[in-house]
Amino acid sequence: MADRTPKIAYLTAGAAGMYCGSCMHDNTLASALTRLGVDVQLIPTYTPIRTDEEDVSIDQIFFGGINVFLEQKVPGFRFLPSFVRSLLDRPSLIRWATKRASSTSPDSLGALTVSMLRGDQGYQAAEVTKICDWLSKTAHPDLVNFSNVMIAGCVPHLKRELNVPVVVTLQGDDVFLESLPEPYKSRALAEIRNLVQHIDAFLAHSQYYANFMSKYLGIPPEKFRVVPLGIETTGFRPADESPDERKDKPKTIGYLARLAPEKGLHVLVDAFIELSKRDATQDVRLEIAGWLGENNRQYAEAEFAKLHEAGLRDRFHYAGSISRDEKVAFLHRLDVLSVPTTYCEPKGLFVLEALAACVPVVLPSHGAFPELIKATGGGRLVEPNNPIALADELERTLLDPSACRRLGHEGAKVVHERYNAQVMARATLDVLSEFVPAGNFASEDGR
């Protein structure tokens, strides 16, 4: 019998219509793997994914958000016939429902998280059976990759059913877990620590995050593999092709992320207000882009109001949630980008995107940022949660055009060569090949 290319089932978690960094990473990786000739299916859970690139996920939802919620809240719902529950998993219906859903209370979210992590012992046991049956009878994967540990409660059942290797990519799971109230946070952590023994490997995009999550979740260090982050660089000008288009234009600081407290918009706003008081930076502009959820609207509007009160109404602009083409154009208009997160960022997609556009970054010295700056040479670090320190470094960067260009060009060269989607896909294949009994993955480039 001729050898066949092993199959990957890649389970990703939708974010209810929000642009989500993890969804975007998963979609980019699956697309790049497919271009390498790998047989991979990107399988959405909870809700359809939203990405600013071509969506390569299958048109089917598992652990559909409506069913998962009703199974948790309505006694006896999980005993309804499967065809009734399947109707509620239609992607179009889930999109409609999540657009109109009100915020879930922390207690309800905590209880649901714990139940999901319990797998076939939780209220969503029927959903566990459904996905395991589909994987074993329809998809026939040789390896299953979960995009976060929160959707991995089904792993023990899946391992019994399929007996295939399972890996989990960790992409900020701690941020979600830390948001849960007690006792749910402790219960969720206990359930995850019980799952660790059933998972063959954990993938992280920085050594910082691998070390941190090893301690946080009690995962043996030898189970971690660090795979470099990557982005689709198509559409971004390579460093040696980027003209100096910003000469004689107002210096512009950019922010590209969700408008949320943890992303540090308020830190950047305070730093920008400080810059506006300094003689050398009174004409600097602030451009903001990113998804704004209803739960953070009051926060964002308060930050915009601070800018208005400081007399800066005409010197900042919020572009909203932007498409990929708009994002590339947005970045090419900037002199420097800063997303001063208040938490320790595990990935930093926006860092690679800015550098791909030859835009240097100024970031807090925590999380994955020091590793990215060291590897790319494309930016500078400042003390976290310190608007004055951020303003000082932004001023130094903006007032030294030659250094600013050098940082951007050095970063762009490294990102285009070493942090593109194809490099990420090949590195991921190298890791997954350790766990596939049928042999190494084949790819069109011979690797």
Q: Is the pLDDT of residue 129 over 80?
A: yes
Q: Is the pLDDT of residue 202 over 50?
A: yes
Enumerate the domain spans of the chain: 7-231+422-432, 239-419
Task: Provide the pLDDT confidence category of residue 2 given band limits of 50, 70 and 90.
Answer: very low
CATH architecture of 7-231+422-432: 3-Layer(aba) Sandwich (3.40)
Q: Is the model more confident about 105 or about 34?
A: 34
Closest CA to 337 of 245, 420, 234, 251: 251
Share of the chain above pLDDT 90, in %: 73
Burial (CB < 10 A; 0-12, 13-18, 19+), residue 326, is middle
Q: Is the model more confident about 53 or about 362?
A: 362
Task: Provide the pLDDT confidence category of residue 22 given band limits of 50, 70 and 90.
Answer: confident
What mean pLDDT is predicted for residues 325-342?
96
**Phi and psi of 379, rounded to 5°?**
-175, -170
Closest CA to 161 of 193, 190, 183, 135: 135
In 196-296, alpha helices (H): 207-217, 265-276
147: helix, coil or strand? coil
Residue 241's pLDDT is 47
Residue 68's pLDDT is 79
What mean pLDDT is predicted for residues 101-130?
82
Cα 246 to the center of its chain, rounded Å: 30
Q: Is the pLDDT of residue 70 over 90?
A: no
**Angle at the Cα of 78 from the Cα atoms of 50 and 83, rounded to 5 degrees:** 70
Task: Provide the pLDDT confidence category of residue 358 given band limits of 50, 70 and 90.
Answer: very high
Q: In the beta sheet, which residues pair with residue 289? A: 256
Q: Is the pLDDT of residue 443 over 60?
A: no
Q: In the beta sheet, which residues pair with residue 166? A: 144
What mean pLDDT is predicted for residues 1-14?
78
Predicted confidence (pLDDT) per residue in 257-304, tens digit: 999 999 999 999 999 999 999 999 989 999 999 999 888 999 999 999
Closest CA to 291 of 89, 23, 104: 23
List the strands of the sheet with 7-13, edge to edge. 39-45, 7-13, 143-146, 166-169, 201-204, 224-226
CATH fold match for the domains 7-231+422-432 and 239-419: yes
| Structural fold of domain 239-419 | Rossmann fold (3.40.50)
Residue 218's pLDDT is 96
Q: Is the pLDDT of residue 247 over 70?
A: no
Residue 52's pLDDT is 81
Calpha distance 76→89 (Å, rounded): 18
What mean pLDDT is predicted for residues 390-394?
98
Q: What is the DSSP string of 79-108?
A: GS-HHHHHHTT-HHHHHHHHHHPPPPPHHH
Residue 447's pLDDT is 47
- Are 296 and 261 contacting, i.e. CB atoms less than 8 angstroms apart? yes
Q: Is the pLDDT of residue 242 over 70?
A: no
Question: How many C-beta atoms lie closer than 10 Å to residue 432's C-beta?
Answer: 26
Pairing of strands 201-204, 166-169: parallel
Q: Is the pLDDT of residue 84 over 50?
A: yes
Confirm whether pTM is higher than 0.85: yes
Calpha distance 307→73 (Å, rounded): 43
Closest CA to 146 of 21, 15, 22, 17: 22
Average pLDDT, the chain: 89
Q: Is the pLDDT of residue 231 over 70?
A: yes
Calpha distance 271→282 (Å, rounded): 13
What amino acid is encoded at 109 in this protein? L
Most confident of 85-99, 225-239, 413-427: 413-427
**Phi and psi of 11, rounded to 5°?**
-90, 120
Only one residue has tokens 């065809």, namely: 83
Cα 38 to the center of its chain, rounded Å: 22
Q: Is the pLDDT of residue 446 over 50?
A: no
Residue 3's pLDDT is 56
Only one residue has tokens 């299953």, namely: 144
Calpha distance 264→385 (Å, rounded): 8
